[in-house]
Structure 1
Amino acid sequence: MRVLLFVFILFPLLELALLIKVGSSIGVLATLLLIFAGVLAGGFLLRIAGPATAWRARARLLSGEAPEQEMLDGLLLAFAGLLLLLPGFISDVVGLLCLLPVTRRLLRARLSRAVPRSGPSSSVPPGGPAAGPRAAPGGSERPRPQIIEGEWERRDD
């Protein structure tokens, strides 16, 4: 409840207060130019970081691994893009922090600990415990998905 109160009421008020403070210090035109430059820089960084994350996710999928990290990176990049589009300096700083690989790695680790694992990426394969390959006896290695290769032909009679 407190987080929603902060996001919807206090955060815009803090952004407005900071905009007024900066505008009174450096002038309205310079403040508007800083906000516009932040939007342009964020858009440029998103154009570079977005496709790179998609290519890494594709490479992980082709190697037979789940692209969990890349999906969280994509989520953080989308959140950063939203924050960079909002007018204000606080949202720009938080958005730029989400774009940096170091802070994104820290946020990704925190998010992956907070979200419980469920669905196909859990330790039990979809067909039951006997369906997939076993992990190492020490339990340190994640089980890899079973891949069955073959050829098929479509016949429309």
Structure 2
Amino acid sequence: MLRPLLFIAFLVVPVAEIWLLIQIGEVIGGWQTVGLLIIDSLLGAWLVRREGRRAWRALQDAVAGGRMPERELFDGALVVAGGTLLLTPGFLSDALGFFLILPFTRPIARRLVSWFFARRVRALAARSPYAPLFTMDPGTAPGQSAGQPRGRVVYGEVIRDDAGGEPGGSAYPAKPNQVG
């Protein structure tokens, strides 16, 4: 799954960016396209600065409030990723960068990225040699599916040999405050 995404990211996206730049340049002109890219970059830099400060303030407030800043860290990472995409020349990467940075689209991006990574972690856990440990019920032995009998059961009694007690004494330890 990751290899096709990398293929798209490094081969198809740059070709699509160049094609889109040529198409826009033919419609509005070359200098106007360069001017639009410059305006786009300036707007993106201003927005990254504003949203980065906002994310940093939210992170500080969460830490000062004594709670785990999960959402704030995620938002900061999305702002950094969006800023990186805005530095890349091209309209497709800028559109994705704005999608990651804008405060009203960031929650959607956060859900999409969390869904992607949760799916990826589940796939990696399923291929792991320790996969039965991740998916088993608390009462299930390793290598055994839930509801399956555990094999031969031997019933018995636990007899403790306490230091102060007699060997083969009570099956249950005495209470600490019990006299006698």
TM-score normalized by the length of structure 1: 0.70
Whole-angstrom CA distance in 1 between matches of 2:46 and 2:113:
26
- Whichever residue aligns with residue 84 of structure 1, its letter is L
Q: How far is the alpha carbon of 1:112 from its aligned partner? A: 3.4
Whole-angstrom CA distance in 2 between matches of 1:4 and 1:48:
30
From 67, 70, 73, the counterpart of 1:71: 73
Q: Which residue of structure 2 lines up, in the alignment, with residue 3 of structure 1?
A: 5
From 53, 56, 62, the counterpart of 2:58: 56
- Whichever residue aligns with residue 13 of structure 2, its letter is F
Q: Deviations over 1:18-50 (max 9, x none)?
A: 000100111000000000011100000111111
Q: Which residue of structure 1 lines up, in the alignment, with residue 93 of structure 2?
A: 91
Aligned residue for 2:104, secondary structure, equals helix
Structural RMSD (CA): 1.2
* % identity of equivalent residues: 34
Structure 2 unmatched runs, 5+: 122-180
Q: Which residue of structure 2 lines up, in the alignment, with residue 131 of structure 1?
A: none
Whole-angstrom CA distance in 1 between matches of 2:113 and 2:30:
38
Q: Deviations over 1:96-142 (max 9, x none)?
A: 111122221112123334346xxxxxxxxxxxxxxxxxxxxxxxxxx
Whole-angstrom CA distance in 2 between matches of 1:112 and 1:40:
29
Q: Which residue of structure 1 lines up, in the alignment, with residue 24 of structure 2?
A: 22
- Give the conservation status (yes or no) of the 8 Å contact 2:99–2:109: no
TM-score normalized by the length of structure 2: 0.62
How do residues 71-150 of structure 1 correspond to structure 2 at under 5 angstroms? 71-113=73-115, 114-115=117-118
- Whichever residue aligns with residue 92 of structure 1, its letter is D
Q: Which runs of at least 4 in structure 1 moved beyond 6 Å after TM superposition?
A: none
Greater Rg over alpha carbons, structure: 2
- Whichever residue aligns with residue 17 of structure 2, its letter is E
Q: How far is the alpha carbon of 1:73 from its aligned partner? A: 0.5
Whole-angstrom CA distance in 1 between matches of 2:61 and 2:29:
48
From 12, 37, 40, the counterpart of 2:39: 37
Aligned residues: 116
